[in-house]
Amino acid sequence: MRLACHLWLLAIQSEFEPEPNLAHPPISSLAGTDVDPAVVGRSPVALEIDDVSRVFVGKSQSLVALANVTLDVGPGEFISLVGPSGCGKTTLLNIVAGLMTASSGEVRFEGSLMTDPRDEIGLMFQTPTLFPWRSAVRNISLPLEIRKETGFDWDSRIAEVLDLVGLRGFEDHYPRELSGGMQQRVALCRLLVSDPHLMLLDEPFGALDEFTRENLNAELARISEHENKTTLFVTHNIGEAVFLSDRVAVMGSRPGRILEVVDVPLERPRTPSVRSGQEYTDVTNYIRNILGLG
């Protein structure tokens, strides 16, 4: 968790530094914003996971957490990783994030080898990990402060992401004054605010009730269609994976590996009514079968 420690230290430091200059040029200069990949000739593959294995060496025995995982993710593509507990989803996400090294194999993002955490990769976890002494807006601005971002207007970008998740009006609320779902919305804003090229989400809605989870699924689908981010999303929930994804990588355990990558042929934009359609049911059942859930 090098990045987390790094962010924590930087966040503490930033508490003692003067307020950042919020006057910046327009948001359109944010990296990646309003850029058509076809125009700049980006590679058809944004993220390449190439034959990645990870072994944890213990005192008495070693554990193969991941074996020969290969997966290409296209620019703007949304891929979910589903599979049983312990099949290596978080391990794979940590390797992609540059937080953990692979025992063998390589991860390349936008053509270059991932060896360390990078600014253009945004992470979100099951718990919102907000700073309780900072208001919602000051939690959201944290990555901009840490990176001392210049080149765009922070206020308008923050207003834009607050609008995306429907949190306008709650800017000055502290985490304790927000529900669990609202706290995850703040965490989502914090992820989006610096316009990452790649979003890595590890069961971000796993701790929420079914109703809030489905609402946030619909919001994330809308946001991901609007922002067109390359996304790797970890979940135990097959319905959530199908609803959100272009493809679902179904994983198995012992050793952790990809069993099959399933296309999700549902049209976009995705609205909650998708869940009552036959195609949704068919894909969901297909994935359940791969996982031996019948």
Ligand X SMILES: Nc1ncnc2c1ncn2[C@@H]1O[C@H](COP(=O)(O)OP(=O)(O)OP(=O)(O)O)[C@@H](O)[C@H]1O
Distance CA 243, CA 218 (A): 8
Judged by CB, which is closer to ligand X: 30, or 87?
Answer: 87
Cα gap 209→82, rounded to integer Å: 19
Let me know how long the chain is: 294
User: Cβ closer to ligand X: 33 or 253?
Assistant: 253
Which residues 79-138 are close enough to bind ligand X by CB under 6 A?
A: 85-91
Which of Mg ion, ligand X, none does residue 26 bind (CB under 5 to 8 Å by kind)?
none
Looking at the Cβ atoms of 86 and 166, the one nearer to ligand X is 86
Q: How far is CA 5 from the centre of its chain?
A: 19
Which residue number, 90 or 183, has a Cβ lying nearer to Mg ion? Answer: 90
CB of 152 to ligand X, least distance (A): 35
Site string for ligand X, 227-266 (x = CB under 6 A): -----------------------------x----------
Total residues at the site for ligand X (CB under 6 A)?
Answer: 11
**How far, CA to CA in Å, does 182 sit from each of 76, 155, 188, 212, 223?**
26, 20, 10, 9, 16
- Tell me which long-range contacts 38-43 makes (C-beta under 8 A, separation of at least 24): 42/75, 42/110, 43/75, 43/110, 43/111
Site string for Mg ion, 84-123 (x = CB under 5 A): ------x---------------------------------
Rounded to whole angstroms, the Cα distance separating 140 from 162 reads: 9
Number of residues that bind Mg ion (CB under 5 A): 1
CB 248 within 8 A of CB 240: no
**Contact set for ligand X, span 36-75 (CB under 6 A):** 56, 63, 65
Is residue 233 within 8 Å of residue 80, measured between CB atoms?
yes
Q: Which one, 86 or 265, has the nearer CB to ligand X?
A: 86
CB of 90 or CB of 135, closer to Mg ion = 90
> Which of the residues 31 through 90 are near Mg ion (CB under 5 A)?
90
Alpha helices in 23-172 (DSSP H): 37-40, 89-97, 136-140, 142-147, 154-164
For residue 171, the minimal CB distance to ligand X (Å) is 33
CB of 89 to ligand X, least distance (A): 4
Residue 269 sits at φ, ψ, to 5 deg, of: -70, 150
Q: Least Å distance between CB 39 and Mg ion?
A: 37
3-state helix/strand/coil string of 35-55 = CCHHHHCCCCCCEEEEEEEEE
Cβ atoms 107, 51 nearer than 8 A:
no
- C-alpha 288 chain-centroid distance: 23
**Which of residues 103 and 215 has its CB atom nearest to ligand X in the complex?**
103
* Positions 149 through 178 that interact with ligand X (CB under 6 A): none
The contact set with Mg ion (CB under 5 A) reads 90
The contact set with ligand X (CB under 6 A) reads 56, 63, 65, 85-91, 256
